[in-house]
Structure 1
Amino acid sequence: MADTVFTFQHPAVWRAREGMSDNRARLKTGHRELDSRLGGGLPSKGLIRIRSLSGIGELSVFHQVLADNPNEKLISMINCPGNVHAAWLHQYHIDAEHVRLIRPELTQDILWSAEQCLKSEACHIVVLWINSLTPRQARRLQVAASQHNTLCLMFESEHTARCALPLALDMRINPTLTGLHVHIDKHVGARTDVSADIRFTHTPSNKTINQILHHSPDYVTSATG
């Protein structure tokens, strides 16, 4: 019996109830079908893994969650694979003053930075890009996020071998002809193996440029003359 108790208290062992919150508050993504499949939205705290290709609009799926920041806390983006442009932040009404880009050189520094940001309780959301996370590492982030009431979005390449991890939510995002397809593989305390489609434009269009041109006096003159 003593050995059994010790096993369940071991720091490498994660229990599902650790990811469940007494507060069932949800963070709406703004995508009605996805929010419905999630039981109202994303969990308000804990570690979420998003497996996808890079550059398909995967971060934009969560733009409303990033923008809804009533306490004006920080949004820490750690090991981001590219630049976060001010125009993108402005488009989704995300205050650039609250965004912090952290680019550690070593893998252990990436995880240390994420854990410290979660424990600080100064962050609205911590966004992390990392591959090949071990269950032990994921558990540390999951516990830190849950205990300090912070959400951690972890983006992982779908080309990375999938490993079972202690997570509040595990999802995959894939491109379709009309947008993105989101599949829920794991969701603590809710339905799993469900999916939702999001209508989404992957690449910029000339719509805005054409609108400006059509309202330009020079354009109207040349078109009619």
Structure 2
Amino acid sequence: MRTVFCLVRKMLKPVDSLLKRDDLWLASQWQQEPCGIATGFPGLDRHLARQGWPNCGVVEVLVADPGSGEVLLLQSLMTPAQDQWLLLICPPFVPYAPAWSRKLDLSRLLCLTELDRKEQLWAAEQALASGSCQRVLLWLDALSVSESRRLQLAAERGDSVALVFLPLALEQQSHPVGLRLRLTPEPAGHRLQILKQRGGWPQSPQRLPLAPQGWGALPARDAATLVQGPW
């Protein structure tokens, strides 16, 4: 009997270590997760474990081409708290200030450019863990398991959200993050699939009519007048 008890204790040790991993979840956690941040798409909220975007952690979005709608998908996360910052790290495009100003206070927006890959990851990790950058947007060509884990831990320490945009070619890689999505444009909108989520299951693809919400249309400018000179 003593031998059997010792064997059971030895078996429980590796099980306990598995339960502490960030990339595994228990079925009972589904009802324990706090409410998330509404996405602006009620159908999508119903498929997310927190009924919305997570309040902290890493959200990976796999895109075919940068600038193909990923910011519109996550626009409900683009407004940080009054005393917090929104940080963009090496975006593939120049943010259009007049449009962004209709969604957030530009004095709370930071944009870092011309950083090498090591500097990008360092800046993201420091900002997430600081407690002052509530949202960090990061565009990368690749991300290792150890790098994604460091970002996840930094976001949890700072109670912040990292939005990491990666190419579709990395879909088969497994990263210990809270939420992983695939976004592909279509003629009638965008197709979104939840590939992985903590506290929930992967979901079938769904179509989303991505459009600016709250960004507002820019005022029309007066028509230009052509003046004919003496030349």
Q: Tell me the TM-score normalized by structure 2.
A: 0.76
Residue matched to 2:59: 48
Q: 1:180 to 1:157 in 2, by over 3 A?
A: same
Counterpart AA for 2:193: H
Aligned residues: CA RMSD: 3.1
Alignment of 1:62-141 (within 5 A): 62-67=74-79, 69-91=80-102, 93-141=103-151
Moved over 2 A (4+): 13-18, 20-23, 69-72, 159-162, 193-196
Is the 8 Å Cα contact of residues 33 and 197 (structure 1) preserved in structure 2? no
Deviation track 1:168-210 (CA, whole Å, cap 9, x = no partner) reads: 00000011122111100000001312333211359xxxx989x
Shift of 1:90: 2.9
Q: Do the aligned partners of 1:77 and 1:127 also contact (CA within 8 Å) in 2?
A: yes
Q: Quote the Cα distance in structure 2 between the aligned partners of 1:170 and 1:197.
A: 17
Is there any run of 5+ residues in structure 2 with no aligned partner, and where?
A: 1-9, 224-231
Measure the CA separation in 1 of the matches of 2:35 and 2:69. 26
Instruction: Tell me, yes or no, if the aligned pair for 2:60 and 2:180 is still in contact at 8 Å.
Output: yes
Identity of counterpart residues, as a percentage? 22
Per-residue deviation, 1:148: 2.1
Secondary structure of the 2:94 match is coil
User: Do 1:127 and 1:154's aligned partners in 2 also have CA atoms closer than 8 Å?
Assistant: yes
Q: Where does residue 157 of structure 1 map in the other structure?
A: 167
Q: Distance in 1 between matches of 2:110 and 2:218?
A: 29
**Within the alignment, does 1:34 sit opposite 2:49 as a pair?**
no
SS in 2 for 1:81: coil
| Residue 212 of structure 1: how far off its partner (Å) | 7.9
> Residue in 1 aligned with 2:24?
16
Residue 54 of structure 2 aligns with an amino acid whose one-letter code is: P
Shift of 1:123: 1.1
1:138-149 matches, within 5 Å, as 138-149=148-159
TM-score with structure 1 setting the length: 0.77
User: Is 1:170 paired with 2:180?
Assistant: yes
**3-state SS of the aligned residue for 1:117?**
helix
CA contact (8 A) 1:178 1:200 kept: no
Q: Is the 8 A contact 2:124 2:151 kept in 1?
A: yes
Q: Write the deviation string for residues 21-56 of structure 1: whole angstroms up to 9, x where unpaired.
A: 976130112122212221421111101100012221
Contact 2:99–2:218 (Cα < 8 Å) also in 1: no
Q: Could you say what secondary structure the match of 2:196 adopts?
A: strand
Shift of the 192–23 alpha-carbon distance from structure 1 to 2, 3 Å rule, reads: closer
2:189 aligned partner, one-letter code: G
Q: CA deviation at 1:139?
A: 0.5
